[in-house]
Chains A and B, each alone.
Chain A
Amino acid sequence: MSEPDQNILVMEGISKAFPGVQALDDVSFNLKRGEIHCLVGENGAGKSTLMKALTGVDQPDSGRIFLDGKEIQAKSPQHAQSLGISTVYQEINLCPNLSVAENILLGREPHKFGRVDWAKMNVLASETLQRLLGVDIDVTKPLGSYTVAIQQMVAIARALYMASAKILILDEPTSSLDVNETQQLFKVMKKLKDEGVGIIFITHFIGQVYEISDRITVLRNGKLVGTYDTDSITRVGLISKMIGRSLAEFDEMSKIKLDSSKHIKTEALLQAREFGLTGAIHPFDLDLHAGEVVGLAGLLGSGRTETANILFGAEKADSGSVSVNGNLVKEHSPLGSIKRGVALCPEDRKAAGIVDDLTVRENIILAIQANKGWFKYLSLQEQYEIADTYIQLLSIATPSPDQPVKNLSGGNQQKVILARWLATNPQVLILDEPTRGIDVGTKAEIQKLVLSLAEEGKACVFISSELEEVLRTSHRIVVLREREKVAEFAGEVDEKTIIHAIAGGEA
C-alpha cells in the first residue's frame, strides 16, 4: 500500500469457510496496473471463492481488499461493477435473444425524442467493439447467433462500456474457444493491458498461461502456494506446485499397492477400442482388468470426465466400441451399465449425484432399485439394512438414514453417492473425483477403500486432480492432455514423469 500504486488491487489475508471445508485460508493476492495475472489451481483450490469475495458474490470471513489504494467491500456484483471490477464468466451472462448492440448498451442506450435511437446505438456499439477490442461484426444480429468467442467479446465490451473497468476478471474464457478465437481474445487482452486495465485470467490451459500472462498465482486446497513471474518458473515446476506431492502416508500406501498388485488378472473386464466422442474425447483404447486400479491423470479440461461418461454410457460415444466381459455393448445407457456391472460415481455431486430431497437411505439404494425395476421394490427392512451397512462402512455422519441428503455436509454427500454405487456391487467402478471436498482423513480412507475393492476382484478407474492421490492408489496410470489420451504408465512410476506427460511440449 505504500508503493507508488503499482498495484491496482491488493487482497490481504482472505479466509472463507463453509460448513465442513475451509475454502480459503489466509490468501493474499495483488494485481498490478496493466498486468495480465493468471490465477491457477485445480478444482477446489479456491480460485472461484477468491473471485467471489472480490466481486461481492460472497463476503469473506476475514481479510481486506484494497482497490487503487482505497479499502473496498463489494456488496453485490452490480456494486462491484460500479466500483470498476468487471467479470466475464464462462457462462455468458447476457441475453442471447437480443442484438449485440443491445447487449452492450442496454441500460444506457441512446434516445432521440424519447424513443430508442437504434441507428446511434448500432454505431456506438460497433465503435466500441472496434476501438476497444478490434472486433468488427454486425451488431444488429442477435447475440445468440454468434459463437461463444464473439459473445465473450461482447460481454467484455459491455463491461468496459458500462463502467470504465479498472479490473477485468476473465473466468475460464477460453474453454469454448478454438485456436484462432483464443488468439483474438489475447489480442484484445493485450490492448486492454496497454491501456492500464488489470486483468485476472483464470484458466486451466497451461500453454495459454505461458503465452499471455505476466505473473502467475497458484492456489491449492484453499491455500496460497505462491506468486511467480511467468518467465521465472518452468512448466513442470508450475504443475508440480499445482498438483505435486505433499508429505503424506506415501510409503504406507505404496506398500498396500504393491501387495494388491499381485491380484491383478490378465483378462480384461472392460475393453474400449477407438472409443471416443467428437468434441469431448479423442478415440482411445483402454483395458481394465479385474483387481486393478487405473488412474486417469490430467489437468482440468483434459477430458477425464468425458471419458468416464462415455465408458458409463451417460453420453453416447460416436466412434469405436466397448465390451464388457467379452460382450460387445450395443445399447449404451446408465441402466445398461448398471446391469452389466459397470458403475460411475460422477464428478458433479450436486447436478448428477445427489437427489437432495430424498433421504440418505433412498439415495443409497437408488441405483440398485433402478436395476430391479419398478415393481421389485426392496422392502423397507432391506433398505435400512443396506443403508446401515454403508453408513457404517464409509462412516457417513448422519443422525439417521432418514435425513434428507441435502442436510449433510459435502463430504458426507459424496460418501452417500459412493455408497450408492458400491451397493450395486459392480465389476467395474469408475470414480470421478471421489475425494473432492472431503477432509484429509476421509480421503485416505477412500483411497484405501479403492485398493481393497480392487483386491476383491473389481476393476477401478480413479480420476482425480490430485496427482499424489492418483499415484498412491493406481496400479496403472493413463494420462490425458487436451482431450486425448497421450500416455500410459504401468507399475511404479515417479511423479516427475507423469507431470512431464501432462505438461507436454516444452518443460
Chain B
Amino acid sequence: MMGQISQFLSKNRKLIPLWSTALLALAAYAIGAYFFVGMRNPQVFFNLFRNSSYLLISAIGMTLVILTGGIDLSVSGVVALTTVSTAVLLREGWNPWGVILLMLAMGMTMGGIMGSFITYLKVQPFIATLAGMWFARGMCFFISDNAVTIDNRIFQILGKTKILIPGLTEIAIKQGNPPPYVSIPVVVGFTLFVVTIFIAHYTRFGRTVYAIGGNEGRNEQSARLMGLPVNRTKMLVYTFNGFCSALAGLALSLFVFSGHGLYASGFELDVIASVVMGGTMLTGGSGYVFGTFFGVMVLAVTQALIQFIGSLSSWWTKIVIGVLTLIFIGVQTVLANRKVGRQAAQSPEVLRAVRRKRLWQGIGVGAVFVLALASIIIISQFRAASIDGSTENTQCDVKPFRESEAAGLIQDGAVIVYHRTAGPQCVDELFAIYPDGRVTGTDGVNKVEKQVTPAEVEHLLTVISVDHKWFTADIYSTYLTPCRQCFAHNISISYDGQEKSATGVDGTTAMPPGYAFALAEIRPLLPVINPAP
C-alpha cells in the first residue's frame, strides 16, 4: 500500500504542495474547532471566505504573474488607492456602478503601464512594481488625507447582502439557527477563481503564461523560439493583475465601508505568501491557480485561530505566516534542487529513489508544522486557563463608541472626553474632564467624580496639543478588533477653538505614537469606576 501511495504521489508530484496546504488548512481548522466551541459554528467557517475574499481575488491575479516568473509588489497600493478613490467618488455623488467600472479600468491601466515597463523597457519586475506601489499609495493621500466612509446605499447593499448557502439553509432553520451566509464579494471571488482556472488551462494565453516562467529564465527564451507571443502575454498578465487588485480593492471597500491610504499595509506579502503556499514556485512555470485558494485559506484560518486564541495578539499572525512561507519555500527548493545534468547518467532507479526520499522529506516537514501548530494552540490554551481559570474564550462584546454622548459632553463644556471599551474586564467607561478641574466617569451604571486642579488640566491640554501634536495630521484614527488584554479608546478634545476626535486600540501598533503619549498623559487623572473586588 505504501508503494501505491508513493507511486501515486510521484506521479502527481506537482500537486503535493497544493494538497499539503489544503490538508494543513483543514487540519488547522479541525484543531481549532476541537478546542474552541465558537469555531464549530458554521458561520465562522463561512466568515473565513467573507474575511478573505479580497485576499483571494488579489492572489488569483498574482498567481498568473508569478507563474511567468515575475512579481507584482504594487497590489497593496492599488487596493488602497481603489478604496480611497471609491470612497471619495461616492461621497461626491458619482454613480456607484460607474465608479466600479472606473476603478477596474484604473487598475488595468496601472497594470498595463507597469507591464510595458517590464516587458519593453526591460525594467526588473521588482523595481517597476515597487515604483507602482509607491505611486499608488502616494496618489491615495493626494486624494484624501483621512479615512473616508462609504455610505452609498448601493454599496451598502452590495456589501451587506447575505447570500445564503443552498442546502445548508434548510438544515439550519430546522436546527433553529440562523442560516449561514456569504457575501457578494465572495461570490465574485469564486467566479473569478473559476474563470482564471479556465484561462490558465484552456487558452493559449494561459499556456503561454506557463511557458514563460520557470527553468531560471531559460523558458522565456525557449518560448520565444517556439514562436509564442511572449511580450504580449507578459503585458496582459500585469494588466490582468491590475484588474484583480482593483477588484480586490472594491471587495475591501465593500467589507469595511471606508477607504484610506493606509489600508492593506503589507498586503502584498500576504498575497505572495498565499500564492507560494498554494504550490506556485516563485521562479515560475509551476503551480496551480487552484492551489492559491488553499493558500488563502491557510492565512484565513491562521487569522481566525489567533483571534480565537485571543491571548496571542494579531502580530503572531505575521510570525506564523512567515514561518509557514519558509517551510513551503524550503520544501519547494528541496524538491526542485535536483541536479539535471549528471542525472542523465544515473539509472532511473537511482533517480526515483532520490525523488521519493525528497518527497517524504517534504511531507515530513509539513507534518512537523501541523504538530507545531497544534502544540502552540494547546499550550496557549493552558496558559490562558491558568490566568483566568476558564478555557472557554467568550469574546467580549465590544461596545460601540458613544459618539453622540461624547459630543453632548463637549457641548456642556468638557475639554477632554475619553471613552474606553473592551480590556480584560470588558468595560465600557466614559470620562469627561472639565476646565475647572472636574473629572467625571460613568459606565452606565455607576458614576464617579474626582477633582484635580485647573492648572493640571491646562497643562494636560498644552502637552497633548503641542508636544503630541493632537490637532495635526500626525494624529489620526485607527481601529481594529481589540485583543483580550487590549482597550479600545476614543479621545475627543476641544481646546482653543479646535475640536478633534480620534480612536485607537492597544496591542496594535498602527496607532500613531502621539496617540499613545496622549493616552498616557490622560490616564493618571482618571478616577477608578469599579474598584477591584
Contacts and interface: CB of A to CB of B under 8 A. Distances in A.
B223 interface: yes
B204 A97 contact: no
A147 interface: yes
A116 interface: yes
A93 B222 CA distance: 5
A470 B312 CA distance: 74
A97 B285 contact: yes
A278 B228 CA distance: 39
Interface stretch (A17-25, A101-109, A268-276): A101-109
B223 A116 contact: no
A78 B223 CA distance: 11
Contacts of B213: 97
B3 interface: no
Nearest to B222: A93
Contacts of A279: 342, 344-346
B255 interface: no
B345 A97 contact: no
Contact of B223 (A95, A147, A278): A95
B207 A106 contact: yes
Interface string A249-269: 000000000000000000000
A158 interface: yes
Contact of B211 (A92, A95, A118, A147): A95
B269 to A, nearest CB: 26
Contacts of A280: 342, 345
Given A96-B215, A98-B211, A116 B227 contact: no
Contacts of B215: 95-97
Given A95-B219, A115-B198, A78 B228 contact: no
Which residue, A107, A109, A176, has most C-beta atoms of chain B within 10 A? A107
A95 B210 contact: yes
B221 A93 contact: yes
B210 A116 contact: no
A116 B204 contact: yes
B468 to A, nearest CB: 50
Given A116-B203, A147-B344, A93 B225 contact: yes
Contacts of B346: 278-279
A141 to B, nearest CB: 9
B221 A106 contact: no
Nearest to B228: A107
A473 B287 CA distance: 56
A109 B210 contact: no
A148 interface: yes
A81 B225 CA distance: 10
Contacts of B342: 279-280
A94 interface: yes
A212 interface: no
Contact of B225 (A77, A98, A102, A148): A77
Pick the most buried of A92, A93, A280: most chain B CB atoms within 10 A of its CB. A93
Contacts, number: 72
A81 B211 CA distance: 20
Nearest to B201: A116
Interface in B215-260: 215, 219, 221-223, 225-228
Contacts of A107: 204, 226-228
A116 B228 CA distance: 15
Interface string A164-179: 0000000000001000
Interface string A60-103: 00000000000000000110010000000000111111100011
Contacts of A94: 222, 226
B381 interface: no
A446 interface: no
B208 interface: yes
B201 to A, nearest CB: 8
B225 A97 contact: no
B286 interface: yes
B291 interface: no
Contacts of B219: 95-97
B215 to A, nearest CB: 6
Interface string B475-508: 0000000000000000000000000000000000
A162 interface: yes
Interface in B309-364: 342, 344-346
A116 B204 CA distance: 7
A98 B220 CA distance: 13
B239 to A, nearest CB: 20
Nearest to B202: A115
Contacts of B211: 95, 97-98, 102, 106
Given A95-B222, A97-B219, A78 B227 contact: yes
A398 B285 CA distance: 44
A162 B227 CA distance: 10
Interface in B169-228: 198, 201-204, 207-208, 210-211, 213-215, 219, 221-223, 225-228
Contacts of B227: 78, 81, 107, 162
B226 A158 contact: yes
Interface in A111-151: 115-116, 118, 142, 147-148
Contacts of B210: 95, 97-98
A92 B340 CA distance: 13
Contact of B204 (A81, A106, A118, A148): A106
A158 B228 CA distance: 13
Nearest to A106: B207
A115 B225 contact: no
Contact of A106 (B208, B285, B286): B208
A116 B202 contact: yes
Contacts of A98: 207, 210-211
Nearest to B11: A141
A415 B226 CA distance: 39
Nearest to B344: A176
Contacts of B286: 97
Interface in B272-290: 285-286
Interface in A397-446: none
A95 B345 CA distance: 21
A156 to B, nearest CB: 14
Nearest to A113: B202
Contacts of A102: 207, 211
B312 to A, nearest CB: 40
A162 B286 CA distance: 25
Nearest to B227: A107
Contacts of B207: 98, 102, 106, 109, 116
Contact of A115 (B14, B203, B344): B203
Nearest to B285: A97
B399 to A, nearest CB: 54
A261 to B, nearest CB: 38
A94 B225 CA distance: 8
Contacts of A109: 204, 207
Nearest to B342: A279
A102 B203 CA distance: 12
Question: Which of B211, B228, B286 has the most chain A CB within a 10 Å cutoff?
Answer: B211
Contacts of B203: 115-116
A280 B344 CA distance: 11
A158 B223 CA distance: 13
Nearest to B221: A93
Contacts of A142: 14
A278 B343 CA distance: 10
A81 B342 CA distance: 31
A75 to B, nearest CB: 14
Contacts of A78: 225, 227
Listed from nearest, the 5 A-B pairs whose CB atoms lie closest are: A279-B345, A115-B202, A97-B285, A93-B222, A95-B211
9 contacts: A77-B225, A78-B225, A95-B214, A102-B211, A106-B228, A116-B207, A148-B344, A278-B346, A279-B346
Given A93-B221, A98-B211, A103-B226, 19 more contacts: A93-B226, A94-B222, A95-B210, A96-B214, A96-B215, A96-B219, A97-B211, A97-B213, A97-B214, A97-B215, A97-B285, A98-B210, A102-B207, A102-B211, A106-B226, A115-B198, A116-B201, A176-B344, A279-B344
